C-alpha cells in the first residue's frame, strides 16, 4: 500500500509542474541568459515574432543562449529601457524610431510628415542606403542594430470629442505624442498642442481628458484598447514609424561568433515576418475597430502636406538633418523641400 501511495503522490506532483516550464527548459543550463524588453502588448506582432525568434535561437544554439522577452513595459518606460540597454542591464530592447530620435537624431528622419506614400517606398528606403545610414548613426552613438528595421506602421490620429478632417480641425487640439522632437514639430506646424507623454500612460491621459487625442498605428490603437477612450480615427497616415531591435554592443560581442550569427539571422527573419504581420493586421483592423465603436474618417493628405510646407516644416527639417540624410530620403520619396 505504501508503495502505491508514494507512486500516486509522485505522479500528482509531476502533473502539478507548469507544462510551459518543462517544455521550454533547455536540456542544459544556458551559457547566456539575455533579456529583450518592449513596450508593446504581448499580442502585438513585435512580441509574437520576438518570442518566435528567441525560441529559434535557443534551438539553433543548443540551449546556449536563452532570450527572455518582457513585453508591455514590464522592465520600464521607453526612456528607461534606452538607458538600461546602454548600460547593459537589459541586453536587447525594441524601440520606435520616433523615440530613438531623442538619442540618435538622425533616426527620426523616417518620421518626416507625409514623406512616404506607401510601403513600397518605406522598404526601398529602409533596406537601402537610408537604412544603412541610420544604422551607422546608431552604432556611432554606442548601440547596435540587430538586423533590419521592423514595422511600427503608418500613424493615424484619434480623437474623443470631434473628428479631425482638415488641418484646421487641429487648431488648438491637445494631442499626445511620444517624446519625439519631429512629431512635436509636425503637430505644432499643423496648429495643434502636442503633449509628450510616455506610452504606458496614454490610456489614462485619454480617459481623464488630459489630452483630446493621440496618434499611433492601428495595431497599437487596438492592442492598447485605445478605442475604449476615443471616438474617431482620422486616416491621415501622417508618419510612418519603424522599430529597431537594439542591442548592447558589449553583450553582443560577448557571444561566440556562431551564436551572434544565429541571433542576427533569426531576428532578421522575425523582422521580415513582423513587417508582413503588422501590415496585414492594419488592413483588417479598420473593420474590427469599427465594430468596437471607432468611427473612421478619410482625409485629403495633400491639404496637410501643403499646410506643413507653408509653415516651413520641410525646409526647417532639411536644414536640421543636413544635405546627406535629406538627400537619401528624397532619393526614395521624391522632393519634399
Domain boundaries, the chain: 2-333
Strands 232-247 and 150-159 come out as: antiparallel
- C-alpha cell at position 34: 539575455
C-alpha 247/C-alpha 253 separation (Å) is 10
Please give the CATH number for the structural domain made up of 2-333. Answer: 3.40.190.170
Write the pLDDT tens digit of every residue in 163-184: 999 999 999 999 999 888 899 9
Write the pLDDT tens digit of every residue in 275-334: 999 999 988 999 999 999 999 999 999 999 999 999 999 999 999 999 999 999 999 999
Specify the DSSP element, H or E, that contains 183. helix 181-189
Inter-residue long-range contacts of 258-264, CB under 8 Å, 24+ positions, other chains counted: 258/61, 259/32, 259/57, 259/61, 259/64, 259/65, 262/56, 262/57, 262/60, 262/61, 262/65, 263/57, 263/65, 263/67, 263/146, 264/146, 264/147
Write the pLDDT tens digit of every residue in 84-134: 999 999 999 999 998 899 999 999 999 999 999 999 999 999 999 999 999
Residue 13 has pLDDT above 70, yes or no: no
C-alpha 5/C-alpha 3 separation (Å) is 6
Which candidate, 135, 80, 86, 88, places its Cα nearest to that of 109?
135
C-alpha 102/C-alpha 272 separation (Å) is 26
Question: Which residues neighbour 140 within 8 Å (Cβ) at sequence distance 6 or greater?
Answer: none
pTM of the predicted model as reported, rounded to 2 decimal places = 0.85
C-alpha 236/C-alpha 325 separation (Å) is 25
Which candidate, 39, 300, 50, places its Cα nearest to that of 167?
300
Phi, psi for 311 (deg, rounded to 5): -85, 0
- C-alpha cell at position 133: 545610414
Amino acid at each position: 500500500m505504501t508503495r502505491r501511495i508514494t507512486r500516486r503522490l509522485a505522479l500528482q506532483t509531476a502533473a502539478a509542474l507548469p507544462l510551459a516550464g518543462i517544455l521550454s527548459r533547455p536540456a542544459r543550463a544556458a551559457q547566456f541568459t539575455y533579456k529583450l524588453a518592449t513596450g508593446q502588448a504581448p499580442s502585438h506582432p513585435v512580441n509574437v515574432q520576438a518570442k518566435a525568434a528567441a525560441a529559434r535561437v535557443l534551438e539553433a544554439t543548443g540551449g546556449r543562449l536563452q532570450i527572455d522577452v518582457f513585453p508591455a513595459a514590464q522592465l520600464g518606460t521607453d526612456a528607461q529601457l534606452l538607458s538600461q540597454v546602454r548600460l547593459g542591464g537589459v541586453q536587447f530592447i525594441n524601440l520606435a524610431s520616433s523615440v530613438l530620435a531623442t538619442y540618435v537624431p538622425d533616426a527620426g528622419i523616417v518620421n518626416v510628415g507625409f514623406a512616404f506614400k506607401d510601403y513600397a517606398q518605406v522598404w526601398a528606403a529602409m533596406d537601402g542606403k537610408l537604412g544603412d545610414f541610420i544604422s551607422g548613426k546608431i552604432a556611432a552613438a554606442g548601440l547596435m542594430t540587430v538586423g533590419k528595421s521592423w514595422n511600427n506602421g503608418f500613424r493615424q490620429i484619434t480623437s474623443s470629442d470631434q473628428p479631425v478632417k482638415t488641418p484646421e480641425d487641429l487648431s488648438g487640439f491637445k494631442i499626445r505624442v511620444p517624446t519625439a522632437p519631429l512629431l512635436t514639430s509636425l503637430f505644432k506646424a499643423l496648429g495643434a498642442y502636442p503633449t509628450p507623454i510616455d506610452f504606458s500612460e496614454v490610456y489614462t491621459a485619454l480617459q481623464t481628458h488630459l489630452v483630446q487625442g493621440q496618434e499611433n498605428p492601428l495595431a497599437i490603437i487596438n492592442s492598447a484598447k485605445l478605442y475604449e477612450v476615443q471616438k474617431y480615427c482620422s486616416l491621415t497616415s501622417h508618419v510612418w514609424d519603424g522599430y529597431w531591435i537594439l542591442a548592447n554592443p558589449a553583450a553582443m560581442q560577448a557571444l561566440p561568433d556562431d551564436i551572434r550569427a544565429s541571433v542576427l539571422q533569426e531576428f532578421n527573419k522575425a523582422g521580415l515576418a513582423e513587417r508582413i504581420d503588422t501590415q496585414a493586421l492594419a488592413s483588417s483592423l479598420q473593420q474590427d475597430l469599427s465594430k468596437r465603436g471607432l468611427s473612421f474618417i478619410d482625409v485629403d493628405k495633400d491639404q496637410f502636406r501643403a499646410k506643413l510646407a507653408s509653415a516651413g516644416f520641410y525646409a526647417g527639417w532639411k536644414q536640421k538633418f543636413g544635405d546627406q540624410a535629406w538627400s537619401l530620403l528624397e532619393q526614395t520619396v521624391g522632393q519634399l523641400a
